[in-house]
A and B are shown apart, each in its own frame.
Chain A
Amino acid sequence: MTRLIRDIYDSGIEFVRTFGAFQLFFMQLLRHTPTMLVRRFDLVVKQVFNTGALSLVIIMVSGLFVGGVLGLQGYSNLARFNAEDSVGVFAAFGLVKELGPVITALLFAGRAGTSLASEIGLMKATDQLSAMEMMAVNPVPRVLVPRFLGGVIAMPFLAAVFSMIGLFGTHLVAVELLSVDVGAFWQQMQMTVDLEDINEGIFKSLVFGVAASLIAVWEGYNAIPTAEGVGRATTRTVVITAIAVLVFDFMITALML
């Protein structure tokens, strides 16, 4: 019993310590952010390309099929109430406010987050970060901040692309395949979806971008410098990001209702 209490106490202390270190790490990234944005914007652009542009294919393909599924589900369920013309609104709300930001963040964690974590972890394992320190170059601004910012900047754009392609997928299924009236499809969407709804989606994708990028660079930077350690960091990146995104999604949705 005493041992159990002691184990719980030790785990609690370890959790608080890790959480504190995580916050300090985040502050450190934020502290160097203005300098890197001004002085080394080229590095940030390179990372926007690596994390954003290279994730476009998976985002677009997923968006198309998610939109298609929304078209099918929306049509079959709304038709029960003779409201199949509203399938556009149904898909737009779903994509812009929820599925766009959330699925983009989950796909981002799988495609770009793992890439960031394993790249940084391997740089650590092969002494590249130590070599930088020995060359009097702080790896936090030089390596971590551009990668963090690349993800934060790329995420809202990726979510927007996901939503647009998703709506195109819904249009293909509902209008072209199931013969929903094209005018009603777009007009109802235009009349119902407000700028506030779009802002909610943008806000969510920004928060998810910060969370996903931060977790990826943290896990990579703190990976045990072995093949097993890097593999574990990569897995943890996906798992923790997925949970964080879903928890944040619930909290933001509850706050914005």
Chain B
Amino acid sequence: MDDNSENLIEIHDLKYSRGPRAIFDGLNLIIKRGEVTALMGPSGTGKTTLLRLITRQLIPEHGTICVDGVDIATLTLTELYQLRQRFGMLFQNGALLTDISVFENVAFPLREHTKLTNRLIRHVVLTKLHAVGLRGAADMMPSELSGGMARRVALARAMVMDPDILIYDEPFVGLDPISMGVIVRLVRRMNDALGITSIIVSHDVEEISAVADRSFLISDGKVAASGSPDELRLAPSDLVRQFMHGMADGPVAFHFQAPDYEEQLLGRDTE
């Protein structure tokens, strides 16, 4: 294991299918230590699946995913859980435990993995909740929170163990502009101040441009383009231009594969 290596996560020739449909077909990608990396792409390209593969919630059919030079497929369950203690993950829907309060949700990893006193746990949890602006909601239950609030609590929980790698799955969806601005700045500030590595899956080109050091555009099971947000914006590729500028026409079809519209409406193919 080479801790000094610039590359934190290396993915080589990744193949993964769901049923007959290939999600990834020879994907190669490198995530550099200390950077904010964005994974972008049209809906259904498998961005969330890629996050689950990186954290070994899913197993690839082919190829390797190395974290700090170690192929995560070779890890035992104990080693995998040790590795996961270095990860913090913000799920798309927050994934808060619904039978315990906001405070206990954020305290959950601390209670499971540390022997900190209740007083110290309280101190750490309130600090993290304050960072996401929800210290006042500590005693509320997850069912009492709005979607945006739940995601901010989940962010507090993801960073409570001070992880090396923070993974965000669609962190900006459903946030009001004020919360979004705060969270975008928080992501950037945490990354720089704590020296962590951040991986963000998002569709929000504007927000990603403000926060990411490097972006990967995934399409058709491969990396279609990569570079800084500015480089992507100026890229000559039609696909990149369509995605970055939100154009309806381009290589990515808006319509899912379907029979001829006119024929289907007039029922010629069924009668």
Interface residue ranges, A against B (CB under 8 Å): 123, 126-128, 130-138, 142
Contacts and interface: CB of A to CB of B under 8 A. Distances in A.
A142 B95 CA distance: 16
Q: Is the interface of A mostly helix, strand, loop or mixed?
A: helix
28 contacts: A123-B98, A126-B98, A127-B91, A127-B95, A128-B95, A128-B96, A128-B98, A130-B57, A130-B91, A130-B95, A131-B89, A131-B91, A131-B154, A133-B57, A134-B57, A134-B84, A134-B87, A134-B91, A135-B84, A135-B112, A135-B157, A135-B161, A136-B82, A136-B84, A136-B112, A137-B109, A137-B112, A142-B112
B113 interface: yes
A119 to B, nearest CB: 8
A168 B161 CA distance: 56
Nearest to B111: A137
A136 B57 contact: no
Given A126-B98, A128-B97, A128-B98, A133 B91 contact: no
Interface string B114-143: 000000000000000000000000000000
Interface of B: 52, 55, 57, 77, 81-82, 84-85, 87, 89, 91-93, 95-98, 108-109, 112-113, 154, 157, 161
Contacts of A131: 89, 91, 95-97, 154
A76 B52 CA distance: 67
A133 B112 CA distance: 12
A127 B158 CA distance: 14
Most A-side CB within 10 Å, residue of B77, B84, B95, B96: B95
Given A130-B57, A131-B154, A134-B89, 8 more contacts: A126-B95, A127-B93, A128-B97, A128-B98, A131-B97, A134-B91, A135-B84, A138-B81
B114 to A, nearest CB: 12
Contacts of A127: 91-93, 95
Contacts of A132: 97
Nearest to A143: B97
B98 A136 contact: no
A241 to B, nearest CB: 23
A137 B109 CA distance: 8
Most A-side CB within 10 Å, residue of B77, B112, B161: B112
Contacts of A130: 52, 57, 91, 95
